[in-house]
Amino acid sequence: MTAATVTLPEAAELLGISRDHAYQLVRRDEFPCRVIRLGRRVVVPTAELDRLLAADASTPSDPTPEAGERAGGVNGSADGTTQSPSVPPPSADPLLRGGAP
């Protein structure tokens, strides 16, 4: 039988965050799942932690481009740099070229 709860440091380790960060999130009521406060002790229900981790595993955090997609596009370039489409390149700005506005 698995435990019904784990300590906050154990939950933090499973989530890949530091113990201190986990306690900060609890203090700000921003921990990603329900916590149970028992005096000064904080525990996390394993069922909720399992659901959170399962949901996180089902959404890719770093999607790779599909076959046939080329690097670049609207916000990227082949060398991996990005440029906002709303910012004109420096050569298009008359002040940077030394011309009058």
Which amino acid, one-letter code, is at 3? A
Convert the pLDDT of each residue in 18-65 to its tens digit.
999 999 999 999 999 999 999 999 999 999 999 999 987 777 655 555
Domain ranges, ordered by start, for the chain:
5-58
Q: What angle do CA 22, 27, 29 make, to 5 degrees?
A: 90
pTM, to two decimals: 0.55
